[in-house]
Amino acid sequence: MTEEKLQELLQEASRSWRVPPEPRVGEMWASIEAAHFDKPRQRLTPRWWVLVSAVAAALLFGVAIGRFSAVDRAAQPQVAASHAGVAEPYGTQTTELLGQTAVLLAALPREASQGSGQTRFAAQAEQLLVTTRLLLDSPVASDPRLRVLLEDLELVLAQVAQLPAASRRNAAELEIITDALEERDVVPRIRTAVASLSGDN
């Protein structure tokens, strides 16, 4: 099979392979409308408020440190700009988040498959998820690469946070999570982002 012949086959496939049926537009819209617009507004539980407050405080603390250290360094020559316009306090928070997430994800397959520490993992993932979501709404998300990485982390951390709730299906759920990690090169991308942020700071 030559490359040309394969190319020809794939071009033909673009016209004839898996030609989609007509979508049931109205039916789908009814479900979407019910799920998105008619669902009751979720209220944050006190536990979430505590977590959100804690992370917000940490971010504010980071900003304060950043401003304080910026004054200290005012007399020194500026060597490098922050990572693609990410302000240093946010960069520090992001680096911490990525580091903690990398540790969690590295340990997850081994320990969780042995049935140990799932509740602890889920609690850690929940905390990291809150930070991830706050960073997604911060200037960090203006860097397209970081934003995409944070969005992927949001998905993976949400899955990890659900692990104890899905205890009977844990092996399968865990496999889904690890497949997603591999398929989307999540851990190598975390390492690259951390190296990039560290290099800039």
Binding flag, residue 8, another protein (CB under 8 A): no
Q: Answer yes or no whether residue 114 interacts with another protein by CB under 8 A.
A: no
**Counting contacts by CB under 8 A, is residue 165 touching another protein?**
no
> Shortest distance, CB of residue 173 to another protein, whole angstroms?
9
CB nearer to another protein: pick between 37 and 72: 37
Per CB under 8 A, 28 contacts another protein: yes
Half-sphere exposure for 56 (CA within 13 Å, toward CB): 7
The residue from 63, 136, 158, 166 that contacts another protein (CB under 8 A) is 136
Closest C-alpha among 60, 58, 55, 32 to residue 44: 55
Task: Rule CB under 8 A: say whether 36 interacts with another protein.
Answer: yes
- Asked if 189 interacts with another protein (CB under 8 A), we say yes
Please, which residue, 3 or 72, has the CB nearer to another protein?
A: 3
Pick from 85, 172, 191, 201: which binds another protein (CB under 8 A)?
A: 172
Q: Which of 13, 44, 57, 65 binds another protein (CB under 8 A)?
A: 13
Q: What is the DSSP string of the chain?
A: --HHHHHHHHHHHHHHTTPPPPP-HHHHHHHHHHHHTSSPPPPPPHHHHHHHHHHHHHHHHHHHHHHHHHHHTTTSPP----GGG--HHHHHHHHHHHHHHHHHHHHHHHHHHTT-SHHHHHHHHHHHHHHHHHHHTSGGGGSHHHHHHHHHHHHHHHHHHTTGGGGGGHHHHHHHHHHHHHHTTHHHHHHHHHHHHHHH-
37 binds another protein (CB under 8 A): yes
The residue assigned the tokens 């982002």 is 193
Piece of the chain touching another protein by CB under 8 A; list 12-20, 60-68, 109-117, 123-131: 12-20
Can you give the binding site for another protein, defined by CB under 8 A? 1-3, 5-7, 9-14, 16-18, 20-21, 23-25, 27-29, 31-33, 35-37, 136-137, 141-142, 144, 148-149, 151-152, 155, 172, 175-176, 179-180, 183-185, 189
